[in-house]
Amino acid sequence: MNLRLKRKIGIITCGFLISSIFFQAKDIKTVSASSNAQVKLGIDNLDKNLTIFEGKKVGLITNPSGVDSNFKSSIDVLYEKTNLTTLFAAEHGI
């Protein structure tokens, strides 16, 4: 292939790629920041299904930031409702 043909193919390919990205970007939908979607924390979901721990010893891997949606410690949540026997923490403790 000669240089002119390679250049034309390169220009056409670049044009095609740029136009496909441009047209694809119009289809992207954005979610407004005012939506009422809420994040559910794992401890809140677990709090609703604590029956799976009945009659069992429970251990918890946590750190100081382990809280529920009311900022109550995950340790306190599980201690009140299960047989929490062991806590595991990172090197800096709980």
Task: Kindly list the domain boundaries of the chain, sorted by start residue.
Answer: 3-89
Average pLDDT, the chain: 82
Question: For residue 27, is pLDDT > 60?
Answer: no
**Which one-letter amino acid corresponds to residue 70?**
N
pLDDT value at residue 29: 64
Alpha-carbon distance 30 to 43, whole Å?
29
Closest by CA position to 68, among listed 59, 76, 57: 76
Phi, psi of 61 (to 5 degrees): -100, 120
Residue reference for tokens 């136009």: 19
pLDDT exceeds cutoff 80 at 65: yes
Token look-up 């009659």 returns: 55
Rg, C-alpha atoms of the chain: 27
CA distance from start to end of the chain: 69
E strand intervals along 1-94: 57-62, 83-89
